[in-house]
Structure 1
Amino acid sequence: MTIIICPGIHDPNLTESFILGLLSTISDSSINQKHINILVVPVQGVLTLSSLHVLHFLHDRLGSKLKSPVIFISFSAGVVGAIAAAWQWQNWGGQVKAFIAIDGWGVPLWGNFPIHRLSHDYFTHWSSLSLGSGQDNFYAEPPVDHLTMWRSPQTVKGYHVDSSVEIDTITNRLTAAEFLSSLLRNYEEK
């Protein structure tokens, strides 16, 4: 399973912290870490908005493995470039197993692949649903700072919600990293 990490506009150390927090949670789950390939798109500043830079990176790293399934995990402004790159990657014949947007507030998310949103508070979760989301989403409760969602997902507590029904159905309380781990476990099995 290849995970494409598309950071936002922030200190690169936050992305390293995100990956460490996610991997520490994955190591506690039944996901086989040996089969996980994490690729971080090396863009900074406004280039995080550029799907062309994301696609260039994907082509450089996975060009000969177009059919290999990928999961996008994107954050903040990085969601903009990542969703457009995911559409294009799929149009080229690539397989997008899932798209996960962390605090991609205001970014329309549609595609013929599974989409999930994680939000730093309920308002961001609720106000983003009309712009597209999948069935399984997450919001922090109590609310946290925007960058905390990326820096320390293992410390952010909140709710897994089923947004496929008219009124969100809260299914359980867990951390953002546990929610991500459960999504990855689900897609690893498919």
Structure 2
Amino acid sequence: MPNVQCPMSTIIICPGIHDAAFTESFISGCLDTSGGSIDQNQGKILVFPGKDFSSLSALHILEFLRVSLAHRRYPLNNSFESPLIFISFSAGVVGAMGAAILWQLLGGRVKAFIAIDGWGVPLQGNFPIHRMSHDYFTHWSSSLLGSGQNNFYAEPAVDHMSIWRSPETVQGWWVDSSIGIFPPKGHLSAAEFLRMLLKRY
């Protein structure tokens, strides 16, 4: 029987409306492939180059994915064969959530959706969803609009941009929202929590 290899996952990063340097800092802080932060089984990291309000647009993100995956170094017969892990921040959570749902409706596979400080954004989908928040209030109030089992909130609280700009310095709690808010499962940095999720997927 031939050895059939599954396509490697692609991580798609959907930033908010902010300085691009913050996203570069996020990637170097917890997604640096040269430092071994990303497992070898992870495929490629794509960063949606959102300008102004395009981060809010699911269609812009979907088109970016279609073009990027069709022209990758080792193209697939069908770009929808590449399983996706979405990592989104702030306003980018809006467009990313819509793009993830559309990707799945078009036959693609979403392995996980990670929303970082997507306050006020409803999260519902037929795939694993995780929230990361810069403080407990954002964690609690956002959970009312949908979240998965394993989530994270900063403790002590930090400002909104810090969890994206410097996730390796933000300490907090890993919580299982399926059993309520207590007990926390562990105290770790936002970067460590994110890497833990990526290893799982």
TM-score by length of 1: 0.93
Where 2:85 maps in the other structure, the secondary structure is strand
The residue number in structure 2 matching 1:40 is 47
Runs of 4+ in 1 over 4 A off after TM superposition: none
The residue number in structure 1 matching 2:112 is 98
Give me the identity figure in percent.
64
Partner Cα separation in structure 2 for residue 117 and residue 141 of structure 1: 15
The residue number in structure 2 matching 1:71 is 85
Where 1:9 maps in the other structure, the secondary structure is coil
Shift of 1:96: 0.2
* Residues 25, 177 of structure 1: 8 Å contact kept: no
Alpha carbons of structure 1 residues 169 and 25: separation in structure 2 relative to 1, 3 Å:
farther
Shift of 1:165: 1.1
Partner Cα separation in structure 1 for residue 102 and residue 32 of structure 2: 32
Q: Structure 2, unaligned stretches of length 5 or more?
A: 1-8, 71-77
Partner Cα separation in structure 1 for residue 175 and residue 94 of structure 2: 23
* Residues 163, 169 of structure 1: 8 Å contact kept: no
The residue number in structure 2 matching 1:11 is 19
Q: Which moved more, 1:11-20 or 1:36-45?
A: 36-45
Alignment of 1:81-120 (within 5 A): 81-120=95-134
TM-score by length of 2: 0.88
The residue number in structure 2 matching 1:23 is 31
Where 1:159 maps in the other structure, the secondary structure is strand
Q: How many residues align?
A: 186
Query: Which structure has the greater CA radius of gyration?
Result: 2
Q: Structure 1, unaligned stretches of length 5 or more?
A: none
Shift of 1:128: 0.6
Shift of 1:32: 2.6
